[in-house]
């Protein structure tokens, strides 16, 4: 399409705004132009944080000589013509704003050579005025060089951060584009030193990640299970790579989202991803991820943000749940301990019936009987499986040593019991009313104002999990029943401890999960407690039946696996 100035009617429909905020935003616009031009080889070069000098060179389609000057006019674009084109934008650019905005605040030169032309063209501009426009030999493609950004605008320059911080932003930007376009050769050169050079080629995201991060990280990443979120009806697809729960970072800067390969910021997608990892990660740890959402152009509006870095989805909920499901399936499909086919034939031998059961034992056992819920709080997901394990004994009154068909499993008794109780309470909440034990004598408890508020606002969940409590006087309540899974001689203390856990939340946002976490936390057997063989067997059996036996509610492992081949190697038998 030739470059044309948009009609005022179309131009006013464009979410215009300041596109040139800092060097990284200039590079973003130039990179997007190169990608729109079909380039397969792009080199980004910066000096002095991009403020002194930046250059983006591509081997794309180039600009025909006769259109070069026009490209620097406001609202001049080759990417759309009518306002109906705005409804299904397939290019990264569409406003015809970037080149004129950059030219207005810098010294810019653009050297280009389109295949329709014999030779190339160069244009040089300073603060919006053309200094030079002439024919000049050039390789196919376009090279844009920007010097002295905001040179005549000291006020704008003041808003820039240090050179190191501007360079950091540029690095992050280039990294994200390398991940989004694994098939493109993309190099970043900072102050004369190659920061990364992704060779493109295979189009594999893992390979791109190896070039921009490191190969060890890239090797550990999981590919999002391909059929996880492809929904035939809407043509929405989620693909990309995510880190296993064992590979995390302290902040979210290693998470990138792309919609139709446009790098965007999205609270919706971030929340969806975090929900998918919920229960897999420890508090305040974040995964690494590069996630693409491919969606019909008309189902997403990219014309909502000046820097085009946010989008609006027509069906937000659908996008949210597709992403969450795809990620969750991938995480569950990847199990840190191997999934082996389970045969229940050994079960009878493991758990002799009718044995005396000690204090917590009976409670765990109650949870196991009856049907198991096959649905989690969100989309149904395949279950992790554990082989049948035979208990060998207790180590340091903290770990249970067990044997499976292919090796040895060392189970953390507290983490494992926490997982079992967590799922049990969640199940109880679904059942309504939950199973509870009525106290022989109701006990009175004094509540602080914030605790009272909690009791009032969570009245329904309180009774669903089994806390029967009623107001008695000012600040005083009568506790009549406690959840079945709590077995204690001191119900009042148990109640207050659960209240404390609840107030703190344990990092869980949903109240249902906060309750499950709080009760599990309080009720789980502690490390250091001696367990009988039967108690251990029963706990292991409960764990086998859990939906996510490999991790505690906070994502810490419940067990460590020592495979027989590992043992053989360690003992030099192989
Ligand atoms: P937009 O990308 O929104 O169209 P720009 O101001 O960024 O607006 O660019 C104006 C026009 O210049 C583009 O529509 C395109 O035709 C042309 N152009 C800019 N950069 C390049 C490039 N690297 N290769 C080929 N054409 C380009
Ligand atoms: Mg553009």
**Measured in angstroms, how far is the CA atom of residue 124 from the centroid of ligand 1?**
16
Whether the CB-CB separation of 225 and 81 falls below 8 Å is answered with no
- Quickly list H helices, 254-380: 267-277, 316-333, 347-350, 361-368
Q: How far is the CA of 310 from the centre of ligand 1 (A)?
A: 20
- Residue-level pLDDT at 370: 30
Query: pLDDT tens digits for 426-436?
Result: 888 887 666 67
**Closest CA to ligand 1's atom 17:** 71
Pocket-testing residue among 81, 99, 101, 307, ligand 1, by greatest number of atoms within 8 A of Cβ: 99
Specify the higher pLDDT residue, 540 or 487: 540
Q: C-alpha angle 404/408/414, rounded to 5°?
A: 100
Ligand 1, residue 142: give the atom nearest the CA: 23
Residue nearest to atom 7 of ligand 1 (CA): 98
What is the mean predicted confidence (pLDDT) over 11-38? 82
Ion ligand 2: residue ranges with CB closer than 5 A = 33, 93, 98
pLDDT at 374: 32
Percent of the chain having pLDDT more than 70?
87
pLDDT at 449 over 50: yes
Question: 311 CA to middle of ligand 1, Å?
Answer: 21
Question: Residue 80 CA: which ligand 1 atom is closest?
Answer: 4
Q: Does the structure show a pLDDT above 70 at 242?
A: yes
> Which listed ligand is nearest to 75 at the C-alpha?
1
Q: Are 398 and 413 in contact (CB under 8 A)?
A: yes
Residue 385 has pLDDT above 90, yes or no: no
Residue 486 is given by DSSP the state -
Distance 347 CA to ligand 1 centre (A): 68
Q: What is the pLDDT of residues 522-536, one digit of tens each?
A: 889 988 889 998 899
Q: Which of 281, 285, 375, 286 is nearest to 325 (CA)?
A: 375
Distance 242 CA to ligand 2 centre (A): 30
The more confidently predicted of residues 402 and 13 is 402
Give residue 253's region: left, alpha or beta (phi > 0; psi -120 to 50).
alpha
Measured in angstroms, how far is the CA atom of residue 93 from the centroid of ligand 2?
Answer: 4
* Per-chain mean pLDDT for the chain: 83
Instruction: Compute, in angstroms, the gap from residue 26 CA to the centroid of ligand 2.
Output: 10
Q: Does residue 371 carry a pLDDT above 50?
A: no
pLDDT of residue 232: 52
Q: What are phi and psi of 68, to 5 degrees?
A: -60, -45
pLDDT at res. 290:
94
Which of the ligands is closest to the CA of residue 70? 1
Among all ligands shown, which has an atom nearest to the Cα of 71? 1
Predicted local confidence at residue 383, as pLDDT: 55
* Residues contacting ligand 1 via CB (< 6 Å): 3, 29, 33-34, 37, 58, 60-63, 71, 76-79, 93-99, 142
Position 268 scores a pLDDT of: 93
What is the sign, positive or negative, of the torsion defined by CA atoms of 552, 358, 397, 529? positive
* Burial class of residue 488 (count of CB atoms within 10 Å of its CB; 0-12, 13-18, 19+): middle
For the record, the structure tokens of 140 come out as 């196919």
């Amino acid at each position: 399409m030739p470059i044309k100035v948009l009609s005022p009617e179309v131009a006013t429909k464009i979410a215009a705004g300041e596109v040139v905020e800092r060097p990284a935003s200039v590079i973003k616009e130039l990179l997007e132009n190169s990608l729109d031009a079909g380039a397969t080889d792009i080199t980004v070069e910066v000096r002095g944080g991009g403020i002194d000098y930046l250059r983006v060179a591509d081997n794309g389609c180039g600009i025909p000589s006769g259109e070069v000057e026009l490209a620097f006019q406001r609202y001049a674009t080759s990417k759309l013509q009518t306002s109906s084109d705005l409804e299904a934008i397939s290019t990264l650019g569409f406003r015809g704003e970037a080149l004129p905005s950059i030219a207005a605040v810098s010294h810019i030169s653009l050297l280009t050579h389109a295949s329709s032309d014999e030779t190339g063209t160069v244009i040089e501009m300073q603060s919006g005025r053309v200094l030079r426009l002439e024919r000049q030999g050039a390789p196919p493609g376009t090279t844009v060089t920007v010097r002295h950004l905001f040179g005549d605008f000291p006020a704008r320059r003041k808003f820039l951060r240090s050179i190191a911080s501007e360079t950091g932003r540029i690095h992050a930007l280039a990294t994200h584009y390398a991940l989004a376009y694994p098939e493109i050769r993309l190099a970043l050169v900072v102050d004369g030193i190659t920061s990364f050079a992704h060779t493109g080629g295979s189009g594999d995201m893992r390979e791109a990640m190896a070039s921009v991060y490191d190969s060890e990280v890239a090797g550990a990443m999981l590919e999002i299970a391909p059929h996880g979120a492809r929904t035939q009806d809407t043509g929405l697809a989620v693909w990309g790579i995510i880190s296993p729960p064992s590979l995390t970072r302290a902040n979210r800067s290693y998470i990138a989202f792309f919609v139709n390969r446009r790098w965007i910021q999205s609270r919706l997608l971030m929340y969806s991803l975090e929900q998918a990892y919920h229960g897999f990660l420890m508090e305040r740890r974040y995964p690494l991820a590069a996630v693409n959402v491919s969606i019909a152009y008309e189902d997403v509006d990219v014309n909502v943000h000046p820097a085009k870095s946010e989008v609006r989805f027509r069906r937000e909920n659908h996008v949210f749940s597709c992403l969450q499901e795809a990620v969750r399936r991938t995480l569950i499909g990847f199990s840190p301990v191997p999934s082996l086919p389970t045969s229940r034939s050994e079960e009878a031998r493991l758990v002799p019936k009718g044995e005396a059961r000690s204090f917590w034992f009976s409670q765990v056992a109650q949870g196991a009987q009856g049907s198991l819920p096959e649905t989690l709080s969100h989309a149904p997901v395949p279950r992790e499986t554990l082989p049948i394990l035979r208990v060998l004994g207790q180590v340091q009154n903290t770990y249970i040593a067990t044997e499976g068909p292919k090796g040895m499993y060392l189970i953390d008794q507290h983490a494992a019991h926490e997982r079992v109780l967590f799922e049990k309470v969640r199940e109880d909440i679904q059942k309504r009313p939950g199973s509870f034990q009525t106290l022989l004598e109701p006990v009175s408890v004094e509540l602080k104002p914030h605790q009272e508020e909690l009791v009032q606002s969570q009245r329904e969940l309180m009774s669903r999990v089994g806390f029967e409590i009623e107001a008695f006087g000012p600040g005083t309540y009568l506790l009549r029943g406690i959840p079945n899974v709590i077995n204690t001689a001191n119900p009042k203390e148990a109640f207050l401890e659960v209240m404390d856990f609840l107030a703190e939340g344990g990092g869980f946002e949903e109240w249902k999960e906060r309750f499950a976490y709080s009760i599990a936390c309080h009720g789980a057997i502690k490390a250091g407690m001696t367990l009988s063989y039967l108690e251990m067997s029963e706990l292991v059996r409960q764990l086998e039946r859990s939906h996510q036996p490999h991790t505690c509610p906070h994502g810490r492992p419940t067990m460590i696996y020592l495979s027989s081949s590992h043992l053989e190697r360690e003992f030099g038998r192989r």
